[in-house]
Amino acid sequence: MTFSCVGFVSGDQPALGLGVEQTQPLELGDEVERLPDGRGAVGIDLRHEQRLADPAVDQHLVPEAGRWDREGRLPLEVIDTLRAERLLGAILPEKIGGGGLDAITYGLLTEQMGRGCSSVRSLLTVHDMVTLSFARWGKAELKEGLLGAMARGEKLGALALSEPGIGSDAANVETRVRREGDAWVIDGRKKWITFGQIADFFLVLGQSETGPTAFLVPADAPGFSRRPLEVMGTRASLVAELIFDGCRVSERHLLAREGRGFDLVVTQALDHGRYSVAWGAVGIAQGCLEASRDYAAKRHQGGKPIAEHQLVQRMLTDMIVETEAARLLCCRAGHLRETADPLAMAQTMKAKYYASRVATRVANEAIQLHGANGLSPEYPVERYARDARVTEIIEGSTEIQQTSIPKLPVEEL
């Protein structure tokens, strides 16, 4: 399998592109208005080629996503292609082997992956969550050689946070870690770990005597094992349960410092995850919209295409406007991230909350528009609906966002 079209990633290698050239970090000027409070409002034109269906996604992901979903497995050759085209680690700096994409271009890439196959988008999300955290908080002696391999996607990372009894309350995980000589010993279980079946390294959070502590744990560490799990959505994302039974790692695998694993390491990882998932949710909504418009043009009732019925036109209008609104929220979050604005994390929370809910609403409308056909795996909206539900749960559920966003400082609202 090969992808070829306009490149996202710099260099001589071919890349799966979206019809969007790599952009430079946004600067306040013609593209960005200044609001009275001094914050930038994104005025990027996302029309034309930036939002058109990318030929590579349409050719290689959209036709195969249903089969991968049914088989419950993303083929390794697809992962090899993503690796070869530098899409794993695309947002990592080029100097360490990444693709060097800016935040908005990375978001557009993630949107298209969500439109094509949410399991592929999930791989990009979790791998970059771990690699970004490792790049910032990892010890120099472990980074040597390994960081470049992860930035290039040669070694895959996965986030090991959720547990059988702990989901959203991540700061109070039950996994225990303790020092034993010059090593750390980890005991506990992690559940619903995306790409946990094949990841080479895991960002693991456990409780030490001083509080939540994070580690980068290799899959070949003694005392580690894993088993596959089945899920309703993103079914090809090779979800697993991880078992740490006296799992031993050396001091160099510690991220940041003891007791600061949640507020320093995991918070950063979740922030990136929310940003990526938000854009992926926009991709799901866009996929539902495109499938629904196509179906409405071909399906006839009352002697004419259902697209000519006003009720269907109202449904499509809501889908179009909500999808665009979600995209613009994500774009604003991307601009704030690119300019290192302190409001970026809050805006990312809002974007993730809204975009994931939009994906679910648009997918539900798409199924309704398709009628009984919308319940069949022969039509993509059935898969989109299951994948949309996943986006409301992962990287901070809808309810977590609903309780967190109102608590933001006034200047971040």
Q: Give the residue numbers annotated as catalytic, written as ranges.
A: 395
Across 333-371, b (16+ Cβ under 10 Å) vs e yields: bbbbbbbeeebbbbbbbbbbbbbbbbbbbbbbbbbebbe
Instruction: Tell me if 323 sits within 8 A of 358, measured CB to CB.
Output: yes
Which residue in this structure is represented by tokens 């009352």?
302
Using only C-alpha atoms, what is the Rg of the chain?
21
Q: How far apart are CA 351 and CA 270, in angstroms?
A: 13
Rounded distance, CA 191 to CA 245, Å? 14
Torsion of CA 378, 383, 386, 388, to 10 degrees: -140
- Length, in residues, of the chain: 413
CB atoms within 10 A of CB 37: 6
* CA–CA distance, 195 with 125 (Å, rounded to integer): 11
> Burial level of 372, CB count in 10 A (0-12/13-18/19+)?
exposed
Q: What angle in degrees, to the nearest 10, is found between the helix axes of 380-391 and 62-71?
A: 70
